[in-house]
Amino acid sequence: GAGVSQSPSNKVTEKGKDVELRCDPISGHTALYWYRQSLGQGLEFLIYFQGNSAPDKSGLPSDRFSAERTGGSVSTLTIQRTQQEDSAVYLCASSLGAGLGEVHFGNGTRLTVT
């Protein structure tokens, strides 16, 4: 596809369950970002992948959060033992590389923890 694709678009889960969120970046983009946005708030950085470099995980809020990027393409963000405060829109973005060109966002995954 032409843009960044995220799935699912909506996810409702019970407190304590694990969830996986998927991001398919634009083909050829080596940089991939995860952010989250709570209602009416700004963008909170979570994790950044750039090519084969070690990812910048400095934004992950707790050890319940982890992310992988397989083969330099698709990325999965995993939240274990979800809590109600994890409810937010999780946004993925990609670009050609660090500092290179436009960053494009997917439409996000709206996560609701009940």
Summarize as ranges the residues that interact with other proteins (CB under 8 A). 33, 35, 37, 42-43, 45, 48, 56, 89, 91, 93, 98-105, 107-108
Please say which residue, 14 or 39, places its beta carbon nearer to other proteins. 39
Q: Which two tokens stand for residue 85?
A: 């405060």
Distance of alpha carbon 84 from alpha carbon 112, whole angstroms: 8
Q: Which two tokens stand for residue 17?
A: 């369950």
Please say which residue, 26 or 79, places its beta carbon nearer to other proteins. 26
Least distance CB 36 / other proteins (angstroms): 12
Give the list of residues 6+ apart from residue 51 with CB closer than 8 angstroms, or none.
30, 31, 72, 97
Please say which residue, 12 or 100, places its beta carbon nearer to other proteins. 100
Token match 């934004």: residue?
A: 59
Q: Which two tokens stand for residue 27?
A: 């083909």
Least distance CB 114 / other proteins (angstroms): 21
Least distance CB 10 / other proteins (angstroms): 12
Helix or strand holding residue 79 (H, E): strand 75-79
Please say which residue, 39 or 70, places its beta carbon nearer to other proteins. 39
